[in-house]
Amino acid sequence: MKTFRRIGVLTSGGDAPGMNAAIRAVVRSALSCGVEVMGIYRGYSGLIKGDIRPLALRDVSNIVNKGGTILYSDRCPEFKTEEGMAQAVETCHRFGIDGIIAIGGDGTFRGATDLTAHGIPCIGIPGTIDNDIASTDNTIGFDTAMNTVIEMVDRLRDTCESHARCSVIEVMGRGAGDIALYTGIATGATAIVIPEVETDVEAIIKKIENSRRLGKRNFIILVSEGVGSKFGPELTELVEERTGIESRFTRLGHVIRGGNPSLRDRFLASRMGVYAVDRLLEGLSNIVVCDIGDNLTHFEINYALILDRMCKGKLKEGDLDNFTPEQITQMEEIVRAKKAKMTRLYYTADRIDL
């Protein structure tokens, strides 16, 4: 079995609150096993360029509570090329890096699986506010981002109530409606618009009018960015035109990517960091750490990526060729359960937000 003397840790793709807690857990748990840790800066860009420094015990002090990532992040198209990959492998050999823990989203995992295929064992930790990795219940950063959303929406509600207005609020999430759906429920939004459930604009207008008749003065509509950047502004105009209620559009944007991580994100990140190091040192690689029903487990990266495609209805020909019928059934079951949960939550919101 491969012996690990030195491993690398990097953060890549969109940053997420809690990434620092994961870095800290990786560093501390590896050091406790006698394994050195190199911090790879700016994701795969730093791996290609050799922007790498050792991380000692005290280098990760006082970061468990900090947003962003001390290792910085980047999007690195060069890493997808053969030359970029060859340079990255050469850097690993030069710095004596025997394996890498890559914290990020699905793009980061694609990079990690390629790197593993080129002889550098990698393990992925899901760090993204979007919660769009179907193989795990929660990704690092999701909880904090949602807490920021509810704080912002509560503020918007105050001013909506004073002016008897409607606030249409767009939140990030890429193609996933999780942030909008959960925060819509938690803030008592009158309507929620997500890509996973077809939107009935007429029903939204009727609901607003009905709620107004029942004495409501403020109206919150949570829109996920996954339905397109024009949807929110257009809906705002339509609500005003059709109901006569003054309406304002707010895009929360990157505000929800920053800030100190919540308890849940620090907790999840700390556990995932230790779990990833343990699996890497045991000899596992090409896996992504997942949180299912509050227990940590792992899946092959390729399994997790194809599961995501299945979830988005974007399977390509041949995608399922390398999986057993049992695995395909399991994937279909996970997708069904995730869809059912989203639909159930959507209609839960609809029944109580009047």
Binding positions for ligand ADP, rule: CB under 6 A:
12-14, 44, 75-76, 79-80, 104-108, 110-111, 114, 128
Largest CA distance in the chain: 70
Q: Are 184 and 192 contacting, i.e. CB atoms less than 8 angstroms apart? A: yes
Burial class (CB in 10 A: 0-12, 13-18, 19+), 110: middle
- Choose between 81 and 229: whose C-beta lies nearer to ligand ADP: 81
Please give the residues from 228 up to 267 whose contact with ligand F6P meets the rule CB under 6 A.
257
CA-to-CA distance for 223 and 221, rounded, in angstroms? 6
Residue 266 tokens read as 């620090």
338: contact with ligand F6P by CB under 6 A: no
| 174 contact choice in ligand ADP, ligand F6P, none (CB below 5 to 8 Å, kind-dependent) | ligand F6P
> Residue 140 phi/psi, 5° resolution?
-70, 125
CA-to-CA distance for 212 and 209, rounded, in angstroms? 5
| 106 contact choice in ligand F6P, ligand ADP, none (CB below 5 to 8 Å, kind-dependent) | ligand ADP
Q: Which of 36, 51, 74, 130 touches ligand F6P (CB under 6 A)? A: 130
Give the CA distances from residue 27 to residues 11, 38, 133, 159, 187, in Å, rounded to whole numbers and listed in that order.
13, 9, 24, 45, 37
Annotated catalytic residue: which of 130, 132, 308, 353? 130
The residue with its CB nearest to ligand F6P is 14
| 110 contact choice in ligand F6P, ligand ADP, none (CB below 5 to 8 Å, kind-dependent) | ligand ADP
| 104 contact choice in ligand ADP, ligand F6P, none (CB below 5 to 8 Å, kind-dependent) | ligand ADP
Give yes or no: 51 in active site. no
In the complex, least distance from residue 89 CB atom to ligand F6P, rounded to whole angstroms: 26
CA-to-CA distance for 176 and 169, rounded, in angstroms? 16
Question: Rule CB under 6 A: which residues touch ligand F6P?
Answer: 14, 105, 128-130, 172-174, 225, 257
